[in-house]
A = this chain, B = another copy of it.
Amino acid sequence: MAPRPDSGFVYFVGAGPGDPELLTLRAFRLLRTADAILHDDLVSKEILACANPDATIENVGKRCGFRGISQEDINERMIEFAQCGLKVARLKGGDPSIFGRLAEEIAALAQAEISFEIVPGITAASAAAAAAKIPLTSRKSSSQLIFLTGHRAGGAPIEIPLPTTRDSTIAVYMPALEYKELAERFLAAGWPINTPCLVVSTASQSSQQILAGNLGDLRFRQRLPSPAVLILGNVVTGTRFAATNPAAACSFQGQS
């Protein structure tokens, strides 16, 4: 790649939950025209199939530990492409601003004086709520929505919000913990055992699965494939935990 006289540009593009139909028009157009696409592991192959066929496409996902790609490697690769004058799409699952490790990459671009734009995407909690046919907030019973992540810098433990306001909805992104451990941390923080919750795995994709029940039930369930979101609070209709396929996912809604 010979450097071009014009300077490159980086687009942080939100890939949404996986279904290409849930890309924004802008994200779709950028994928069709990018020269280089650097994507995370969790970006679906259906979305990668939308890419410009002439683009250089690289998986810079860090979750496959064996590949050993560090954040520094990702930053370097992104800067290298941009400094060659390329239009770079840095493609991240969901919305790049939410648990997308965006801060590190923005800082690296700023230091290299490379311009960028953030193209927002559908975040996992919104996709999970749509899949489960529930709202995340309710004027009557849930006026706050709290997003947490199971992954923290240096392996710090997830911070569980206190159940002081019962009218909150909690969304835990990609719980890396076993469900038993996660549920027990909420219980230890004082959340009632019958707090309704559900887990949505690979929302919007053909592999989508939904578990619905309460904190007590959650302890006895096995982990579903990533990406997954746990939603907890009054917005979740309380039913016994049961694995569902997409078609049956929302049968409990009828009982509300």
A145 CA to B141 CA, complexed, in Å:
19
In the complex, A97 has a CB within 8 A of chain B? yes
Interface size range of chain A in the complex? 35 or more
**Interface flag for A244 (CB, 8 Å):** no
How many Å from the CB of A108 to the closest CB on chain B? 12
Give the oligomeric copy count.
Answer: 2
Contact with B along A115-144 (1 / 0, CB 8 A): 011111111011101100111111111011
Pair A149/B120 contact, Cβ less than 8 Å: no
What are the 10 tightest A-B residue pairs by CB atom distance, in nearest-first order?
Answer: A102-B135, A118-B130, A97-B129, A139-B153, A21-B26, A120-B126, A145-B147, A103-B138, A120-B130, A97-B136
Residues in A lying within 8 Å of B, measured CB to CB: 14, 16-17, 19-26, 28-29, 95-104, 106-107, 110, 116-123, 125-127, 129-130, 133-141, 143-149, 151-153, 156, 159, 161, 165, 167, 235, 253-254, 256
